[in-house]
Structure 1
Amino acid sequence: MAEEWRRSCAAAFPTALAADVAAVAAVMPAPRHGPAGPFPVVVQGDRLSIPGRLYNDEPTAAASAPLSARRRRLLHCLYSRHCDGRVRQRHLRVIAGATDPWVVPYVVQLAGEYVVEILRDLDRALRVVTGPGHPGRLVYGRFLADNPAFFDRTQRRVVSYWSCYHRLAYPDFHDYPGSAVIELLRSAASEVAGHAPPRLTPRPARRAAGARP
């Protein structure tokens, strides 16, 4: 399993970061079992395979202290894929304002998940990092333009989780934090691509038979 874990870590970041990734993996406790549900993305020409979930305990502060700033960002990216939502949220808060291209897929993936507290954090962070004039706007826009299928799937998941879990709290989909996050990402993508990606929103609810219009 240890060898499988090292290969998974290496595949989750660009090849230029291989030495940094190895150093990060070395301070992480051994996983309880292998990472699950990897998803493919392209980052600046590198094809990555990012874990859907990982099952490593967090390293101690003493173990991670010697890591450089870049290696700590790599660590936070990996733990944003943790099986515990609170752990994902804690590590997301550290990387949400970063503009490294290899950070972006980890942030965007969380937009398509079900924890509404994470979506609120994303909304706040992306209003800054994808805002007009911020360098992160072009970084996010390029990633989304290069990964249209991934962004479409993320939008569908936002709609699905709203419908399954959050419709009562947010009867209007446009008030849902996940919807706000998707619109921020669409705006960044449109600046790079020159046109907005398709907007995937819920279908209108069917009216019951005999109901008045």
Structure 2
Amino acid sequence: MQLPRDPSNVAHVLAAAFPARLADDVRGVLAVMPDAGFAPMQPFEVEVQGETVAIPSRIYNEEPGADLARRLPGTQQVILHCLYSRHSDGLLRQRHLEKLVASSEPWVVPFVVQLAGEYVLEILEAISRGLPGLSLPGSPQRRLYGQFIAQNPAFFARTERRVVSYWSCYYRWKYGTFGTYPGCILLEAFRAAVVEQVGTPWPRHTPRPLTDADERPV
């Protein structure tokens, strides 16, 4: 069953964050989510396997009760975690990210990459822990993220710029060079993933990390 197409309808806005084939599963998730006092904010569009989805920047719904969430089928639980990874509360975003980051579903990837471009350091660290395959050439995780970035170059470029901005604003005192910042390390892993997919260098929108050779005195 398709959800309403009225863009003022909150159910439609949240359903638009996922491929159309998941409409029934999204409907099941929305049935257990409490209503929010505020509408979802500022969706961003990305392509997932040839289909455009529009993911809200923030949602404001309280979490459903743990018993209700546990009764959802597996796919619906992942959808729930994806939606709450967009929550206005950073602790909630981190908790739900940790439950979805290892998923191999292509429609999960944009939720994870978007979080890589946000300001909570613990979330960046949780992404790195949850994606060990990013550092393994030929791994399914590396292929999954490489394919997504190759399909969404503008989105990844925007993510890069956000990572640099948040490092400069909040974390430069702790990480004196961008290359030591966890967000930079994560971006380099994403870049390696897309280079492996396309077979050519990928455009860079961040300071280039120093190498051992760069730091060696001449």
- For normalisation by structure 2, the TM-score amounts to 0.89
Aligned partners of 1:43 and 1:101 also within 8 Å: yes
User: After the TM superposition, which residues 111-130 of structure 1 pair with which residues of structure 2 at under 5 Å, given as runs?
Assistant: 111-129=116-134
- Distance, in Å, in 1 between the alignment partners of 2:145 and 2:37 is 33
Unaligned runs of 5+ in 1: 204-213
Percent identity, please: 52
Distance 1:18 1:91 in 2: 21
State the match for 1:210 in structure 2.
none
Q: State how far apart, in whole Å, the 2-side matches of 1:121 and 1:150 are.
A: 21
Q: Distance in 1 between matches of 2:53 and 2:163?
A: 22
Distance in 1 of aligned mates of 2:158 and 2:122 = 21
Q: Which secondary structure does the structure 1 equivalent of 2:31 belong to?
A: helix
Unmatched segments (≥5 aa) in structure 2: 1-7, 209-218
The offset of 1:202, in angstroms, is 3.8
RMSD between aligned residues? 1.4
Give the structure 2 partner of residue 12 of structure 1. 17
Distance in structure 1 (CA, Å) of the matches to 2:190 and 2:197:
11
Q: Work out which of the residue numbers 176, 182, 189 in structure 1 matches 2:187.
A: 182
Stretches of 4+ moved more than 4 A in 1?
Answer: none
Q: 1:89 Cα deviation (Å)?
A: 0.3
1:32-67, CA deviations, whole angstroms, 9 ceiling, x for partnerless residues? 110011100000111000000000000001221221
CA drift at 1:130: 5.6
In structure 2, C-alpha distance between the alignment counterparts of 1:57 and 1:131, rounded to whole Å: 37
**Is the CA contact (8 Å cut-off) linking 1:187 and 1:196 kept in structure 2?**
no
Q: 1 CA distance for matches of 2:176 and 2:106?
A: 35
Alignment pair present for 1:196 and 2:201: yes
2 CA distance for matches of 1:169 and 1:97?
A: 28
Structure 2 counterpart of 1:19, one-letter code: D
Residue 138 (str. 1) matches residue 143 (str. 2): yes
Indicate yes or no: 2:118 matched with 1:110: no
